């Protein structure tokens, strides 16, 4: 499966290395085709730099150790999601055939789309049968 990991999951995984998001991130990279959007990576670095700059070196190490495909955000005229900054990420997920968007973002989670399916870390780990 192609799984796009959203910014909030990346941030949680870096700040809390023993958390469910961290476990889901590593599991996804090892067992599926993990995908990151360039817009997510930019936001990830900006948020860490603003809120916890001391975590940036760990974040960069994590990104070099994980196996993932990088896709560009995709502009689109049709609005499918409430938050305009999330639209290019959703567009990229649709364009690149992403199966699951792994997120904690309520705007994504409220979409009720079948493809890509948006789910929380807990939902994903449960479906995959991953023990914590």
Q: What is the pLDDT of residues 112-128, one digit of tens each?
A: 899 999 999 999 999 99
Q: Which of 58, 3, 52, 51 is nearest to 25 (CA)?
A: 3
Q: Output phi, psi for 52, to 5 deg.
A: -145, 70
Domains observed in the chain = 2-127 (3.40.50.1010)
Distance between CA atoms of residues 111 and 68, nearest Å = 25
pLDDT tens string 41-66? 999 999 999 999 999 999 999 999 99
Q: Is the peptide bond before 60 cis (omega within 30 degrees of 0)?
A: no
Per residue in 88-106, pLDDT (tens digit) is 999 999 999 999 999 999 9
Within 8 A by CB and 6+ apart from 108, the residues are 6, 81, 86, 90, 101, 118
């Amino acid at each position: 499966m192609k799984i796009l990991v959203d910014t909030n999951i990346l941030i949680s995984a870096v700040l809390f290395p023993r958390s469910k998001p961290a476990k889901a991130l590593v599991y996804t990279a090892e067992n599926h085709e993990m995908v990151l959007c360039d817009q997510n990576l930019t936001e990830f670095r900006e948020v860490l730099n603003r809120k916890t700059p001391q975590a940036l070196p760990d974040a960069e190490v994590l990104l070099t150790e994980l196996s993932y495909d990088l896709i560009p955000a995709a502009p689109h005229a049709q609005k499918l999601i409430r938050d305009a900054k999330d639209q290019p990420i959703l567009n990229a997920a649709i364009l690149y055939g992403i199966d699951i968007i792994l997120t904690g973002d309520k705007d994504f989670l409220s979409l009720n789309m079948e493809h890509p399916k948006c789910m929380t870390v807990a939902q994903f780990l449960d479906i995959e049968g991953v023990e914590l």
